[in-house]
Structure 1
Amino acid sequence: MRSVLLSALALSSFALAAQQPAAAPAAPAAPAKMEAPKPGPEMAKLQDLIGNFRVDEHIEASAMGPASVGAGFSHVAQGPGGFSILIDYTTLSGAMHGLKGHGAMAWDDNAKTYKQSWVDSMSPTLTVSTGAWEGDTLVMHSEGSFMGKPYKEQDVFSGIGADGFTITISWSMDGGPMTKMMTLNHHRLASAAAPATK
């Protein structure tokens, strides 16, 4: 009789256990949060190019026209994540009056070079330049076509500091010597407002 009772008790316990819900499986561990990359020292070297600038434009005499002067305004801001700088440029007076341009400059860590793209309202093309520091000077190079002839361009950023910087633009047309075409003297402004159009 005792064995029958024990058997009945065992069966009853088994049935009760079968009715209990199974324990939920443990939740998987959350994946480790991916740390966002940070700008390197190459971008830190471009920080003095950021700001608002009054620009004195000095255009050299050439086959395209006589020497002239003009004025412009440049607004340069830090790009997404600090990995680039974004340039908005407007010419306010002079031979290029009305020109509007937009550029982006960044350090390409894969190619180990600086790259800049540029578009403006005077040319139906996108120019891409590459470059590097030569001492305290940043030198960018690009190639393209102007009026059906190939050209090479060199943009030299010099005198970079708290008060501004200078860009000297030189061209080599159709295999000729590199000749200075334009100098853009950038003077830092305390305000973001552009100077009045002349």
Structure 2
Amino acid sequence: MEDVGMKRPSMIIVFLTLLFAFTAAGRAQMQMPKPGPEHKKLDYFVGTWATDGDMKPGPMGPGGKFTGTSHDEWMDGGFFMVIHSNMKMPMGTGTGLAVMGYNADQKKYTYHEFNSMGEAEAATGTVDGDTWAWTDENMMNGNVVHGRYTMKILSPTSYTFKYEVSQDGNWITVMDGKTTKTK
């Protein structure tokens, strides 16, 4: 008669060894997703940037000059860019945190910002050559306001921008300016 007590641990060891081998092989075949070429276009924004602009009098305030700085860096994985910003405007100073990425299902870039003025902004964008075009929809004084933010790349270290709003299809420029990479 064979010793069943000795065979049982041996079979358990064989089973666990096979289980580990199959699990390890399965993990080796599963690869982490990698950013696509659309994500790589966001590389342009990596670095520290300085902005000088002009706010027009209107729905966003009294108008005047504004300045800002931002530090843009990739989040681990390379799918999302994290942007920390500081700004000085005619209404005061503020800070912001934004996340920019790409939605492959919508084939659009995404932008989500939260700032110290209590605003939460969301926009989607496209890029065509040297022009980035972002659109958003917000509530202002109880009304839906459509916005479009256009960036024209001038060089690897600078771009101009314009932000326009509309309630009825007539676009009004509310701010424009230039942003330059400092680091």
TM-score calculated relative to the size of structure 2: 0.83
TM superposition outliers: structure 1 runs of 4+ over 3 Å = 63-67
Structure 2 runs not aligned, ≥5 long: none
Match of 2:176 in 1: 183
- Higher fraction of helix: 2
What does 1:39-188 align with in structure 2 at a 5 Å threshold? 39-62=35-58, 64-92=60-88, 94-122=89-117, 124-159=118-153, 161-172=155-166, 174-188=167-181
* Residue 126 of structure 1: how far off its partner (Å): 2.1
Flag the 1:106–1:65 CA change in 2: closer, same or farther, 3 A: closer
Query: How big is each residue's C-alpha offset from its partner over 1:70-120, in whole Å with a ceiling of 9 and x where there is no partner?
Result: 22111111123110111111113x414312122111101122211111121
Unaligned runs of 5+ in 1: 1-14, 191-198
Letter of the 1:99 partner, please give it.
G
The answer on whether the counterparts of 2:72 and 2:81 sit within 8 Å (CA) in structure 1 is yes
| Number of aligned positions between the proteins | 171
Greater Rg over alpha carbons, structure:
1
Q: Distance in 2 between matches of 1:67 and 1:114?
A: 29
Which position in structure 1 is the counterpart of 2:3? Answer: 19
SS in 1 for 2:35: coil
Give the letter for the 2:3 counterpart.
Q
Q: Distance in 2 between matches of 1:163 and 1:110?
A: 30
- TM-score, normalised by the number of residues in structure 1: 0.77
Q: CA RMSD in A?
A: 2.0
